[in-house]
Structure 1
Amino acid sequence: MAEALDTLKMDGTQQAALLFLTVGQERAAEVLKHMTPKEVQQIGAAMAEMRNITLDMIDGVLRRFIEEIRNQTALGVNSEDYIRNMLTQALGADKAANIIDRILLGRNSKGLEQLKWMDPRAIADLIRLEHPQIIAIILSLLDSDQAAETLAHLPERSRSDVIMRVATLQGVHPAALKELDDIMEKQLSGNANVKSSTIGGIEAAANILNFSDSNIEVSIMEQIAEANPDLSQKIQDKMFVFDDLVSIDDRGIQTLLREVSTDALLLALRGADDGLKEKVFNNMSRRAAEMLRDDLEAAPPARLSDVEASQKDILAIARRLAEAGEISLGGGDDLI
């Protein structure tokens, strides 16, 4: 029973890692070919940390995988028109535009894919001497957490300027992406008929700052507030912090909790408002909530940096679920 409980505590990445360890090297390798660099890195790290795997744990993960796969249908469709129409009908033209651009413009983009495999420090070394506008475009093309780490390795004096440029990007014409191709000697541009790619903007800047260390975030926001108070307020309004999870509806919280390990939740809640704690407790079984309360009361002091890191990890999971349409951040109709 103890082993089964351990399986229930696993987050989605850990369960995927255990599944890959179970199916064998060849099958796992074939599946990994179809995953993003970030997903491969996350699952690889989880696989490396796996210890004391039992038959009960394997059985639990396999049963969940079979249950999930029964509810899904693989269409095998690879049509650009189908993708555009499907996302537009599902999200509306405005909301779908950014997603469509990222999928279709970046689909065959070797340069972007190579960047996603690179260490943030290496990316920073590659672009630190480029014009701030070029750096802003590159950060907008990266996932927010990778962009935040890259930003941290850039000179401090340039960070606020870069974030302001990210926030004020109105769209990038394919010609600008081709210029970026030349600079980086990589192919980033896609469909020449597309008028502009809707990368960047207020939300992109806010997301990068959400993933930045707190001291970097505060420093950048102070500089932006001094240079452009209106822009600073707009970015602040779009930022989503850990305590904002309280605005997610009960069903969304339950979905999120299924993806978060107990240890990560315990650490993150150390720095949370009472309202969010109660929201979490109310969406757990009575026994699980009582155990979590007891663990919180008995837990020794934790470093603030560790608490903030755990909170950012959970926020990353929440954004991934929101992007997949499984939860809605902020309790509204818009999916972030």
Structure 2
Amino acid sequence: MNNTKRAIELYKAVSAEKKEGPIMPSDKTNPGKAARLMLLLEPDQAAGVLEQLKPEEAEELTRQIANIRRVEAVDARVLLDEFSEYIGEIKARRVNGGVEAARDILSRAFSEEKAEQILNKAVPETRPQPFAFLNDLTSHQLISLMRDEPPDTIALVMAYVTPFLSSRLLKSLPPRERTKVILRMGHTGKILREDVISTEDSLKNKLRITGVDDSEAIDGKAVLADILRCMDPDEEQHLLSELEKADSSLAEQIKMQLYTMELVIEMRDRDLQTLLHNFADRDIAILLKGQPDTVKNKLLGSLSDRRRTLVEDEYELLGAVLKKDAETMVNLFLTKLREGEEEGTFIVFPDKYLS
């Protein structure tokens, strides 16, 4: 049986399931899970499925794909194990969803015009973003295109293209220019509509691709933090070190938007149990010092009753601790947190559609 037929059987198997939550009005199908599985297939396989669906099914599946931010590696592994009989060997990995992922699959299944019609009907609020055409480029093509552009232009483009492309572009720059771009991004606020139009027109002339001219409000620090999360830890640390030399205040703000203790609030209890397994009771008690109640309650709530009692006893016995001791434990915890997320051991940034 060829891959496309297997993918179609997979979609039918998932669609026949009872839904897991309030994903859609009907109680007979589960397009949320189907959409996540389609993202794990090769784009051409997913396109083959769309070609066989009824119009309303294609629209619903498109809507779900567009609404999914990403599928984490640990959840991908669970889904692939559940439906392995239909799809054979597929690597469990983190994949991005979103409008562009939906558009890519649609464009492979239908003509460009029909693909846009389905997307616009499925996601009416969808509209092209400035520089959206650049996301169709490979990282090598984008780097070549931006090679002679000034830091302001590079920073503006990086605010709109995907974090993956931005990270590759940033890595390709000479150290001095890279620092200038980081500083420019960190201080980016609102961008004048005229500036966006002018820059976009210049790049469109190079590529002869149509774009849009809407202005957007940009949180440069948040965008830069998202880019850094896509980079290797050593590269991220190197860039933060460069930024700290140039602007220590900005560097501190960026760090605060990366991995923080507040991330544990959205984590699953079983993932926290895995993370805390190698921490001694006393270490956990030190970790709790100075944390807000929401974080304390989440960490304690993930522990077994017996261990929670032991940690609470340690917490009381410790009394006040040195700030540097608490910070050392927090740094160790966040390091393990990041390592586990990158390895797919557990989820740190859960998608709202994951069950």
TM-score by length of 2: 0.48
Richer in helix (by share): 1
Larger radius of gyration: 2
TM-score by length of 1: 0.50
